[in-house]
C-alpha cells in the first residue's frame, strides 16, 4: 500500500470518529429539547411557580447552549479540513463523502436548533398569555401591545402598581406575574444568543 493511501485511510477514520461525535451531540441536544418542552408544560400547568422545575429548565438550557457551541465549532473545523486538504485524484471520492457527511450533519444541527428556537418562542407566547390572564384576574385588562411594552421596559410594576393587595390570592398572582416576566426576559436573551450563534 502506498503511503498516500494509508494516510488517506487514517484521515477518513479520524473523520468518521468526528462524525460520530457530532451526531451523538446533536442527538443529545434533541433529547434535551424534548425535555425542555416537557418542563415548559409543567411550568405552565402549575398554579404556582416551582423553583425546582425552573432550575432544571435552566440547567437544560445551559447544557443545550454548551453542546451547541461544541457542535458548531466541530462542524467549522471539519469544513476547514475538507477545504484545506490537497487531494490527489484517487481520494476525490473521500472528499465527496466527507462533504456529504458534513452537509447532512449541518442540516440536522440547524433543524434541531430551529426546533429549539420555536420551542422558546412558543413558550414566550404562552407565558405572555398567562400574564395577560393573571392581570385580568386582578381586574387589569391589557392589550398585546401594552404587554409587549411592559416586557420591553423590563418592569412589571407599570401594570401591577395600581393593584390593591387585599387577598392572598392577589399577592400570589402578582408574584406569578413577576416570575413569568423574569422568565421571558431570560428567554429573550437565550433566543438572541441562538440567533447570534448562527450569524457568525
Q: Determine the pLDDT at residue 1.
A: 54
Per residue, the 3-state secondary structure of the chain, as one string, reads CCHHHHHHHHHHHHHHHHHHHHHHHHHHHHHHHHHHHHHHHHHHHCCCCCHHHHHHHHHHHHHHHHHHHHHHHHHHHHHHHHHHCCCCHHHHHHHHHHHHHHHHHHHHHHHHHHHHHHHHHHHHHHHHHHHHHHHHHCCCCCCHHHHHHHHHHCCCHHHHCCCCCCCHHHHHHHHHHHHHHHHHHHHHHHHHHHHHHHHC
Rounded mean pLDDT of 131-154?
A: 77
**Has residue 15 got a pLDDT over 80?**
yes
* Residue 182: band (very low, low, confident or very high) from pLDDT cuts 50, 70, 90: confident
Q: Determine the pLDDT at residue 200.
A: 56
Q: Determine the pLDDT at residue 148.
A: 80
Topology of 3-199 in CATH? Methane Monooxygenase Hydroxylase; Chain G, domain 1 (1.20.58)
Q: Determine the pLDDT at residue 128.
A: 82
**Has residue 24 got a pLDDT over 90?**
yes
Rounded mean pLDDT of 150-165?
A: 64
Q: Determine the pLDDT at residue 180.
A: 75
pLDDT digits (tens, 9 = 90+) for 40-51: 999 888 877 788
Amino acid at each position: 500500500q502506498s503511503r498516500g493511501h494509508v494516510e488517506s485511510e487514517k484521515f477518513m477514520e479520524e473523520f468518521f470518529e468526528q462524525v460520530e461525535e457530532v451526531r451523538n451531540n446533536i442527538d443529545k441536544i434533541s433529547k434535551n429539547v424534548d425535555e425542555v418542552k416537557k418542563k415548559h408544560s409543567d411550568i405552565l400547568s402549575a398554579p404556582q411557580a416551582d423553583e425546582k422545575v425552573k432550575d432544571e429548565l435552566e440547567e437544560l438550557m445551559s447544557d443545550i447552549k454548551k453542546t451547541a457551541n461544541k457542535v458548531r465549532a466541530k462542524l467549522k473545523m471539519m469544513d476547514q479540513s475538507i477545504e484545506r486538504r490537497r487531494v490527489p485524484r484517487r481520494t476525490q471520492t473521500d472528499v465527496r463523502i466527507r462533504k456529504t457527511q458534513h452537509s447532512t450533519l449541518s442540516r440536522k444541527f440547524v433543524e434541531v436548533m430551529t426546533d429549539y428556537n420555536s420551542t422558546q418562542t412558543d413558550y414566550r407566547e404562552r407565558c405572555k398569555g398567562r400574564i395577560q390572564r393573571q392581570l385580568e384576574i386582578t381586574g387589569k385588562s391589557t392589550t398585546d401591545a401594552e404587554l409587549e411594552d411592559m416586557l420591553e421596559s423590563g418592569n412589571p410594576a407599570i401594570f401591577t402598581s395600581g393593584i390593591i393587595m387585599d387577598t392572598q390570592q392577589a399577592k400570589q398572582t402578582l408574584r406569578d406575574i413577576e416570575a413569568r416576566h423574569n422568565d421571558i426576559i431570560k428567554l429573550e436573551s437565550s433566543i438572541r444568543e441562538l440567533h447570534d450563534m448562527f450569524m457568525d
